[in-house]
Amino acid sequence: MPLWLSSCFSCVDLHFYLSFFRGKYPFGDYILYSNLTFTLREVKHLWRQHGCVENYGRHLVMRIDDFEKPAKTNALCGNWRTWPQPIIWYQGTTDAVGAQFFLKNIHPDMRDAATELFGRPESLQWRPNVFGELMSILISPSRDVEEAVNWVLGGGREPDITLHMRMLMNRSIRAAQAALYCLKQATSNLQLGSRPRVVVVSDTPSFVKSIVPNISGFSEVVHLESPPPAPK
């Protein structure tokens, strides 16, 4: 369960970082966690070391946000930067879900913060893969996983685009249509001399079977099956 350090945690200059119990998180054998993340023990140490209580009057208190209960959450609408608690615990979430709360928050100040960090996701020239960029800072694949992916790619050139679609058991037609539209727009903007290489990653085999024929008409397709969602 991720512990978000809000931007008001300025006394040790740690802005919007995730805190994990590294080495104990699910899939620890397959994922390496960045040194830019902090365990709660490390946060407590930094808090004392920098005198956050004495110098800034900031006590190490935690805001627990239960996003599964609408009456007890303000994750997607509130301005995290004004909350008095320096640590936000999104109860019952994984790191991926917690990161998306930041990216999908609709408060104007939060949208400005996301744009400042990652650009405008609706505009391809503004580094559109905001979620991927955020996660690449926090985690990386283990050597075994990296070798497995390279084996699937067959030693060919690096993919031009990766489409990651998860948890589509409801067979959403709109999701597939949106994905196909985005792929066509992206491949058009890339202006490659050859057919773009597209990797499709999904934990829903039926989705892969349905979308690959549509993509194959304008690209070379490689597909991977991802593991099921991480336990909460």
Rounded to an integer, what distance in angstroms lies between the CA atom of residue 50 and that of residue 139? Answer: 27
Q: pLDDT of 192-205, one tens digit each?
A: 778 888 988 887 88
Instruction: Name the more confident of 7 and 77.
Output: 77
Report whether pLDDT(228) > 70: no
Mean pLDDT across 88-99: 74
Mean pLDDT of the chain: 75
pLDDT of 72 reads 79
Q: Other C-beta atoms within 10 Å of 168: how many?
A: 18
b/e sequence 11-42, b meaning 16+ C-beta within 10 Å: bbebebbbbbebeebeeeeebebeeebbbeee
Report whether pLDDT(93) > 50: yes
Question: Which pLDDT band, with edges at 50, 70 and 90, does 121 fall under?
Answer: low
Mean pLDDT across 204-220: 86
Backbone angles phi, psi at 16, to 5 degrees: 55, 35
Let me know: does 16 contact 5? Beta carbons within 8 Å: yes
Rounded to an integer, what distance in angstroms lies between the CA atom of residue 214 and that of residue 198? Answer: 12
Report whether pLDDT(86) > 70: yes
| Percent residues over pLDDT 90 in the chain | 3
Of the candidates 227, 229, 224, the one whose C-alpha atom is nearest the C-alpha of residue 159 is 224
Report whether pLDDT(16) > 50: no
Question: Which pLDDT band, with edges at 50, 70 and 90, does 21 fall under?
Answer: very low
Of the candidates 120, 124, 80, 113, the one whose C-alpha atom is nearest the C-alpha of residue 98 is 80
Instruction: Name the more confident of 92 and 75.
Output: 75
Q: pLDDT of 129-173, one tens digit each?
A: 666 767 777 788 888 888 888 887 777 778 888 888 776 666 668
